[in-house]
Amino acid sequence: MKTYKQIVHEQKSLFLYVLLTYVIAGVAIIFREPLYGIFGERNYVTIHLIIEIFICFFSLSIAVQIWLISKYNPKNRTIYMGALFLMTGILEVNHAIAYKGMPYFIQESGPYLATWFYVIPRIMFPLGLLIVFLLEEKEVSSSSRLQSYALSILFSLGVIAMVYMPTQLLPVLVDENGTTPLKNNLQMTALVLQIALIILLVKRIKVMPRRAILMIAASLYLLCSDIMFVSYKDVYDIYNFTGHIFQLLAYLLLFKAIYYLTVEQPFNKLIEANTSLEQSEQKIKQLAYYDEITTLPNERYLMEYLSKNLKREESHKALVVFGIGRYYSIKNSLGTKYTDKMLVMITERLQKFLPANYVLCKLAEDRFAIFIEKHDDAKKIYNLLQQLKEMMEEPLAIDHFALNSNIDIGISLYPTDTIHEEDLLQFAKFATHEAKKSLEHVAFYTEDMQKAQSERIVLENDLKNAIVREELFLEYQPQLNLRTGEIRSAEALIRWRHPKRGLISPFAFIPIAEESGLIVPIGQWVLERACRETVAWQQKYKQPMKVAVNLSMGQLYQEDFVNFVRQTLQQTKLKPQYLQLEITESMTMNTKQIIPVLKELKELGVAIAVDDFGTGYSSLSYLKDFPIDCLKIDRSFIGNILENPNDEALVKMILSMAKHLNLKVVAEGIETVEQLDYLLHSDCDKIQGYFISKPISYTALETDFTKIQQFATEQLSKLKVKNS
């Protein structure tokens, strides 16, 4: 883009060129008479020679310059222009040496020779330029450079031969009366061509202003020189001298234009290209080494930093990596807009409290890293961890949400754990994963973490394809209603048949799905399949059957989850009263977000159960606020119910509380008849466990249902008989 300054400068220079024309022409016209023969008649030949030397010098140097430059940048227009200048240069040399008064060369010098050598290039030059500018600029082969120049030399030699021919082949252009009509006509032709060239150049002025302005000015000077040459009386007329001066000026400007075109412009372009290259390099570097959202140095930066730093010193160092506990569920429910803001806010907090010599980096997704270059005592790390935790306790206010989130912190130590930078980072990451499972949410790297982690990564990858490859399926575990003795409900439990590892427990892959966000598509698949199969079962047995489906936190946060449930029920034609959704206790912590979703679900007519009750969350006060229908006592309490008085007390407490809150109770993990007996005599509504049936495939549920029901009925009646 041209700047305003440049445009003004160009317009100014054109104005100056035109002004100069007026001045020179004006002086010549006004002082024509007094200036006649001013240089002294005997000096004219030398003066002419001096001017011609310059003219020849300019045109030949342009030709040479183009020849040299176009080797690397062979453009048709430039090469043809070079050839034109070569021709002009050669013929101008001949014009100069054949000028009247010059020493003998082949023939006596005189107007016949000199005028022809002058007139031919004067017509050929503007004509050639016109053709050149009408051509479309394109790259040509370097051989066409040689061809054009050879043609130019051949043409010039032809003209020389023709003009020097002993018998005059060509008509006379100047006689004793001055210029002949033919000379004047030829001169007029040159003039017309020159005007046409100016018009063409003016039209192009927007496309190539700088060069066009120089060319226009040059053409103007050539035009003036033509006018002078048409109207001069004889060589001593100042018009003749002025004509030559104009011609010289024209060649000077052409020289400048070509210099601009072939040297200056490409050079400027090169500088421009270099500057933009530098700028993009900087941008790329920024992108490569810094995180876009937080502008913190990224993992690549950290790795390079570590590789330099670890080699340098022998001091003890530590790398702390931490992840934001609820990052994925917030991302899934509220979107990246929120998580991005969250990351920025956390970055600001971190920057405020971290000492300047700690290197803070942002790794992928929700991970941050802090590198401690010198930690002489464990206290430093301990203090840092405390500060980190405190920092995250303060909720993050984003729009109208107050998001609070715990962090999971992993630490690896140099040189204790490793001396390699890659391992240091990797180990800290492994530890972060393990930190999730610990109560403190902090873990120092230990060797056994490594294996667990690499397996996890492989599994996550396989899980991505599990739905499409139909490796997932459901099993159903029947639930026995202790009040009616009937099996009218079952819990749907997901299974993954891995092509290489065989059956993988949901305990192993559900956490991976939750963390990677895969839980959303997987959860949708489970709900859909469970509803569809339950309807099929109901149709086959012509009996009601309720299905319980487990939910993960990520699903409840999922946008439009309620709508999805509604649609699934409609599509599969399962009546809402036959669906129960199971949430875990830990989900109930986020009261604000969860209660509205549960309420909507209840409005649909779906039942809500709290799974694994007694294991997760210590506060029970939420029970009265939550729109729930059922508690499922975790099987860990049932297992020892007969031996462990604490467990027994807890189960009793849950049962009585449920009664007060008007909640149904399902006891999980009934494995023995004694456990069943115990629960039969307490206020428990349903039981579920291996004793009645293990989770079984849908086909097995269809074929063996009657058998299972029969077994349950028999057991119940036996117990009744025994107890009566």
Name the maximum alpha-carbon separation found in the chain: 156
CB 414 → ligand C2E: shortest distance, Å?
38
Count the neighbouring beta carbons within 10 Å of the beta carbon of residue 10: 17
- Site membership for Mg ion, residue 582 (CB under 5 A): yes
Q: Using CB under 5 A, which of 219, 332, 418, 550 touches Mg ion?
A: 550
Q: Which of Mg ion, ligand C2E, none does residue 187 bind (CB under 5 to 8 Å by kind)?
A: none
The enclosing H or E element of 233 equals: none
Q: Which of Mg ion, ligand C2E, none does residue 353 bind (CB under 5 to 8 Å by kind)?
A: none
CB 557 → ligand C2E: shortest distance, Å?
13
Nearest CA to 691 among 661, 671, 719? Answer: 671
CB 672 → ligand C2E: shortest distance, Å?
9
CB 430 → ligand C2E: shortest distance, Å?
24
What is the per-residue binding string for Mg ion in 654-673, x denoting contact by CB under 5 A?
Answer: --------------x-----
Q: Which of Mg ion, ligand C2E, none does residue 307 bind (CB under 5 to 8 Å by kind)?
A: none
For ligand C2E, which is the closer residue by CB, 10 or 671? 671
The values of phi and psi at residue 618, to 5°, are: -80, -30
- Site membership for Mg ion, residue 237 (CB under 5 A): no
Q: Which of Mg ion, ligand C2E, none does residue 505 bind (CB under 5 to 8 Å by kind)?
A: ligand C2E
- Site membership for Mg ion, residue 611 (CB under 5 A): yes
Tokens (6 digits) for 94 = 């001949």
CB 376 → Mg ion: shortest distance, Å?
48
For ligand C2E, which is the closer residue by CB, 36 or 690? 690
For Mg ion, which is the closer residue by CB, 223 or 482? 482
Number of helices (H) and strands (E), helices first, in the chain? 26, 19
Rounded Cα–Cα distance for residues 396 and 585 (Å): 24
Nearest CA to 353 among 374, 328, 375, 383? Answer: 383
Rounded Cα–Cα distance for residues 284 and 307 (Å): 21
Q: How far is CA 386 from CA 131, 353, 379, 440, 699, in A?
A: 82, 12, 10, 11, 54
CB 637 → Mg ion: shortest distance, Å?
11
Q: Which of ligand C2E, Mg ion, none does residue 494 bind (CB under 5 to 8 Å by kind)?
A: ligand C2E
Q: Which of ligand C2E, Mg ion, none does residue 493 bind (CB under 5 to 8 Å by kind)?
A: ligand C2E
For ligand C2E, which is the closer residue by CB, 109 or 580? 580
Q: Which of Mg ion, ligand C2E, none does residue 669 bind (CB under 5 to 8 Å by kind)?
A: ligand C2E
3-state secondary structure of 293: coil
3-state secondary structure of 187: helix
Rounded Cα–Cα distance for residues 359 and 289 (Å): 14
CB 668 → Mg ion: shortest distance, Å?
5
Q: Tell me if 407 sits within 8 A of 392, measured CB to CB.
A: yes
CB 531 → Mg ion: shortest distance, Å?
16
- Site membership for Mg ion, residue 339 (CB under 5 A): no
CB 595 → ligand C2E: shortest distance, Å?
20
- Site membership for Mg ion, residue 585 (CB under 5 A): no
- Site membership for Mg ion, residue 52 (CB under 5 A): no
- Site membership for Mg ion, residue 462 (CB under 5 A): no
Instruction: Count how many Cα atoms sit within 13 Å of the Cα of residue 476 in the half-sphere of its side chain.
Output: 28
Q: Which of ligand C2E, Mg ion, none does residue 291 bind (CB under 5 to 8 Å by kind)?
A: none
Count the neighbouring beta carbons within 10 Å of the beta carbon of residue 394: 11
For ligand C2E, which is the closer residue by CB, 52 or 647? 647
For ligand C2E, which is the closer residue by CB, 259 or 711? 711
For Mg ion, which is the closer residue by CB, 198 or 594? 594
- What number of chain residues touch Mg ion (CB under 5 A)? 5
Rounded Cα–Cα distance for residues 271 and 261 (Å): 15
CB 548 → ligand C2E: shortest distance, Å?
8
For ligand C2E, which is the closer residue by CB, 224 or 518? 518
Nearest CA to 544 among 569, 570, 572, 576? Answer: 576
Pick left, alpha or beta for residue 545 (phi over 0 → left; psi -120 to 50 → alpha; otherwise beta): beta
For ligand C2E, which is the closer residue by CB, 337 or 694? 694
Q: How far is CA 667 from CA 130, 658, 673, 676, in A?
A: 99, 12, 14, 10
For ligand C2E, which is the closer residue by CB, 267 or 690? 690
Rounded Cα–Cα distance for residues 500 and 393 (Å): 43
Rounded Cα–Cα distance for residues 171 and 111 (Å): 12
For ligand C2E, which is the closer residue by CB, 291 or 582? 582
Nearest CA to 668 among 687, 649, 643? Answer: 687
Q: Which of ligand C2E, Mg ion, none does residue 145 bind (CB under 5 to 8 Å by kind)?
A: none
Tokens (6 digits) for 210 = 């700088």
Tokens (6 digits) for 563 = 């709508």
3-state secondary structure of 165: coil
For Mg ion, which is the closer residue by CB, 243 or 614? 614
For ligand C2E, which is the closer residue by CB, 69 or 601? 601
Q: Tell me if 298 sits within 8 A of 289, measured CB to CB.
A: yes
| DSSP line for 643-695 | T-HHHHHHHHHHHHHHHHTT-EEEEE---SHHHHHHHHTTT--EEESTTT---
The values of phi and psi at residue 125, to 5°, are: -65, -55
Rounded Cα–Cα distance for residues 413 and 408 (Å): 17
Q: Which of Mg ion, ligand C2E, none does residue 89 bind (CB under 5 to 8 Å by kind)?
A: none
CB 371 → Mg ion: shortest distance, Å?
42
CB 290 → ligand C2E: shortest distance, Å?
37
| Site of interaction with ligand C2E (CB under 6 A) | 477, 493-494, 505-507, 510, 526, 550-552, 582, 611-612, 635, 668-671, 688-690, 695
CB 560 → ligand C2E: shortest distance, Å?
18
- Site membership for Mg ion, residue 421 (CB under 5 A): no
- Site membership for Mg ion, residue 612 (CB under 5 A): yes
The enclosing H or E element of 520 equals: helix 519-541
Which DSSP symbol is given to 262?
A: I
> Which residues are near Mg ion by CB under 5 A?
550, 582, 611-612, 668
